[in-house]
Amino acid sequence: MVDERMIAFLDAARTRPMFLAVLGEAGIGKSTLLRALGGLAGDRGFHVVTLAPDGFLRALFAGHAPPPAGSARPYEVLRAWSATGRPVPPADEPALVTGMVLALDELAANAPVLILVDRADAADPDSRRLLTSLMRHLSGERVSVVLAARGTEPPPGIGPEITRYVVPPLGEMASARLLGPMTTGPRREALRRAAGNPMALRRFSGGPRWAAQEYARVCAGLPPVTRKLLRQAALAGESEPVDVLTRAAGGTGLQDWEPAEVAGVVTIADGRVRFAHPMFREHIAEPTVQAAYDAGEPSWAVELHRDSPAPVPEAGFALIQLGRPAAALDLARDGILATAPGGAGAMSLAAVAATAVMASGDAGHLRQLPVLLDRVDEGPVASGGAARMLLTGTLAWRWDDSSRAAADLGAVRRAGLREGTPGPVLTALPLLILSLMDTGRWHEAAPLIGEAEKLAAVSGATLLDSMLPALRATLCAWRGESPAPPAPAAGGLAGALGHRAAGLAALAAGEHEAAYESFRAFHDSHPVLGPQALPQLASAAVRIGRTAEARALVAAGRPTSRRTAMLTDHAAAVLDGCEESFRRAIGHVDAGRHWPREHAEAQFAFAVWLRRQRRLRESRPYFQAALDTFQRLGAGPQAEQARRYLPGSGVDGPEPDAILATLPPQKQRIARLAANGLKNIEIARELNVSPRTVSSYLHDIFPQLGVGSRHQLRDLLTANRAG
């Protein structure tokens, strides 16, 4: 709350008098800023005096006792003025101000003084005038005054030389956070109406009614024909000409609009009707569930749905956005079962069901989905629109057709942006971002995460908001950046993503036990996402000796797509060292185009295995292919690993001695001694370490140098020195 300008003010106030006016509209945060400034000043050793506006100067000097020898006239005038409350005669005012200066100098003898006056605009004019005179007479005294007042100019009586600080409104993100969960009404309208005013935001967050009484009273007093015209205008928007609106609503002419203009509800200019305040529009329009959902107001949509006699698909999407997929699935199920196959709304309800199941991550919900989808007729009702694209995109994601999912869900997002309806955008974004990440389009996914963060905050979309930290952490881990892993969310899609992000962070840190537990939690928490981390789970299992457990997990899975088959084969190959499994994993047609990172990881793992079998020449094409993909994606750590496995191969990478130089000195010594033919126990004696430490270090060194044995290590280093 206290910014750099306020801190600079306090720094200056330690040595000389300062005079500041904190200005702004009612509720903008002036009092909060004053309290924060006072707290900071107290921590810095100031003597802080906080005064109410009524008679604040008299309150400041009340009870001040001059020194025993102080019978001088300034003290006498000050004591009489502060004790009696009577105005000081003009002839005595100079003595009064001098007495104030002397008194303040005594008050500041041991510490600088900061005087805070809230609502200075409500103070009596005499106090404001005398304060200005006092501040003009201060020179070296360590006394400063901060006033808070409404408006953008200091209140009357305060001298124009006072420094001004106008408290700005909150930005959109800060406003959205402060607003919190809405108890009623649309968030976007609350944010727009509050215009960054904290007091208004708090009132909207807990107010019992959305349409404020002032707007309702004004509209209620208008003639019926005028209210009908206003409703037509509210539904049509500001683009329709006033004569078109008048005819559509059955009016006779501009005279029917006049009561609304006189009341300040609308203005008519250039043939267009404009509402004076958006709250008038909202009160008149009698909003619907669909309108609230389209506007990106999920809480409002759910509220409006309470009075609906039948399930409305848009309320289901809103429930998903609020992190309530089970309730959304119940709504969709009730609606689908009550609707004839292929009936109106069936496609939209099916899209709700599919999206809810993917968001919940519940295996029982997933088993219900085929039964519900069977009731959706692929007839005329399913011929197009956002609902169909949402359904096909969601089902494509479910069956690992990531490219189709990205295309269909991307179309939903673009249509929503084009039409100004953020609701469908919010619904499409979670799986769209995942699809872009899966297909290697990280440069598109990254800015979408930023877009989604702002949209989720403004709309109160809990599901999307809870997913974003994990999505960002995952993308950063793949790129070699290292943000702190997010705490796993409660469950469902967001919780699963949190487990994966934690696993990637643990794997990068070499914490294989923690990585295994996180990937296992990821696998168990979402039936669609779970298989995507099987290779990482298998790799961690090998490092911690839990291969039997991991092998049983892999064997129990049933691949449902080419992608899950590739991942399962990759994991099995890591666990068993089986060449056939490796070749199946890298042999899936078009896998590199649809899931480039995962396919390149399988190629890389196979190449490492080939090198450990001393099949160096065979390994190089796979290392090169993996390197090309990792470089294209921007997967820095994996690209660097692939380079290190290609010594002397012509790629842009270091030679063995350069690679050796990147190792810690102890590992360098072990590598050179091993290349010279020493056994582990001999190296241990030479370096005064345990044989087990030598074995562990060589296990790490061999793959980094692209060798699988001491013999290859000796040949490599000898050949490099000879070259």
The DSSP line for 433-463 is HHHHHHTT-HHHHHHHHHHHHHHHHHHT-HH
Please report the pLDDT score of residue 379 as a whole number.
43
Residue range 4-166, CATH number: 3.40.50.300
Which pLDDT tens digit goes with each residue over 299-333? 888 888 887 778 899 999 999 999 999 999 999 99
Mean pLDDT value across residues 223-234:
82
DSSP 256-282: GTHHHHHTTSEEEETTEEEESSHHHHH
The highest-confidence range among 99-113, 284-298, 381-395, 707-721, by mean pLDDT, is 99-113
CB 12 within 8 A of CB 46: no
Please report the pLDDT score of residue 1 as a whole number.
63
Residue 337 has φ and ψ, to the nearest 5°, of: -70, -25
Strands (E), 59-194: 113-117, 143-150, 163-166
> How many other CB atoms sit within 10 Å of the CB of residue 199?
15
Which one-letter DSSP state was computed for residue 385?
S
CA distance 424 to 414: 10
CA distance 518 to 525: 10
Please report the pLDDT score of residue 570 as a whole number.
95
- Check residue 149 and give left, alpha or beta (phi > 0: left; psi -120 to 50: alpha): beta
Higher model confidence: residue 94 or residue 345? 94
CA distance 619 to 647: 12
With b meaning 16 or more CB within 10 Å and e meaning fewer, what string describes 149-177? bbeeebbebbeeebeebebebbeeeebbe
Give the per-residue SS3 of 551-601.
HHHHHHCCCCCHHHHHHHHHHHHHHHCCHHHHHHHHCCCCHHHHCHHHHHH
CA distance 476 to 472: 6
Residue 716 has pLDDT above 90, yes or no: no
Please report the pLDDT score of residue 207 as a whole number.
44
Please report the pLDDT score of residue 344 as a whole number.
55
CA distance 6 to 20: 10
CA distance 79 to 91: 16
Amino acid in the structure at residue 447: P
CA distance 51 to 39: 15
pLDDT-based confidence at 537, cuts 50/70/90?
Answer: very high
CA distance 191 to 288: 19
Least confident residue range of 50-54, 61-65, 294-298, 478-482: 61-65
Residue 428 has pLDDT above 70, yes or no: yes
pLDDT-based confidence at 11, cuts 50/70/90?
Answer: very high
Mean pLDDT of the chain: 84
> How many other CB atoms sit within 10 Å of the CB of residue 593?
11
What's the distance, Cα to Cα, between the start and end of the chain in Å?
A: 65
Mean pLDDT value across residues 583-600:
90
CA distance 565 to 570: 8
pLDDT-based confidence at 511, cuts 50/70/90?
Answer: confident
Beta strand 113-117 pairing with 266-269: unpaired
Amino acid in the structure at residue 492: G
Residue 558 has pLDDT above 50, yes or no: yes
Residue 201 has pLDDT above 80, yes or no: no
Q: Give 511-644's CATH code, choosing from 3.90.1150.10, 3.40.640.10, 2.60.40.10, 1.25.40.10.
A: 1.25.40.10
Please report the pLDDT score of residue 220 as a whole number.
64
Residue 114 has pLDDT above 50, yes or no: yes
Query: Could you tell me the two tokens for 109?
Result: 């003898």
CB 296 within 8 A of CB 422: yes
- 144 beta partners: 114
Mean pLDDT value across residues 584-605:
90
Q: Give 656-722's CATH code, choosing from 1.10.10.10, 3.40.980.10, 3.40.1350.10, 3.40.50.300.
A: 1.10.10.10
Instruction: Supply the Cα-derived Rg of the chain in whole angstroms.
Output: 36
Please report the pLDDT score of residue 211 as a whole number.
37
CB 529 within 8 A of CB 522: yes
CA distance 539 to 637: 16
pLDDT-based confidence at 721, cuts 50/70/90?
Answer: very low
Please report the pLDDT score of residue 485 as a whole number.
61
Residue 263 has pLDDT above 50, yes or no: yes
CA distance 101 to 107: 10
CA distance 114 to 723: 76
> How many other CB atoms sit within 10 Å of the CB of residue 295?
20
Place of tokens 């370096």: 687
Higher model confidence: residue 722 or residue 676? 676
CB 358 within 8 A of CB 351: no
Residue 555 has pLDDT above 50, yes or no: yes
Please report the pLDDT score of residue 147 as a whole number.
93
Q: Determine the topology of domain 291-483 in CATH.
A: 1.25.40
Mean pLDDT value across residues 37-45:
93
CB 442 within 8 A of CB 633: yes
DSSP 53-80: STTHHHHHHTT----TT---HHHHHHHH
CA distance 78 to 59: 12
Residue 712 has pLDDT above 70, yes or no: no
CA distance 295 to 310: 21
pLDDT-based confidence at 559, cuts 50/70/90?
Answer: confident
Give the DSSP H or E segment for 336: helix 325-337
Q: Determine the 3-state secondary structure of 485 from DSSP.
A: coil
Mean pLDDT value across residues 463-487:
84
Is pTM beyond 0.85 here? Answer: no
Mean pLDDT value across residues 209-230:
67
Q: Determine the 3-state secondary structure of 139 from DSSP.
A: coil
Residue 610 has pLDDT above 80, yes or no: yes
Which one-letter DSSP state was computed for residue 380?
G
Domains 291-483 and 511-644 share a fold: yes
- Cα–Cα distances (Å) from 545 to 502, 513, 550, 602, 612, in that order, read 20, 10, 10, 21, 19
- 21 beta partners: 147, 164
pLDDT-based confidence at 496, cuts 50/70/90?
Answer: very high
Sign of CA dihedral 591, 593, 598, 599: positive
Residue 546 has pLDDT above 70, yes or no: yes
Q: Where are the domains of the chain?
A: 4-166, 291-483, 511-644, 656-722
Residue 68 has pLDDT above 50, yes or no: no
Amino acid in the structure at residue 582: F
CA distance 708 to 686: 23
Mean pLDDT value across residues 506-517:
87
Residues in the chain: 723
Sign of CA dihedral 542, 546, 548, 554: negative
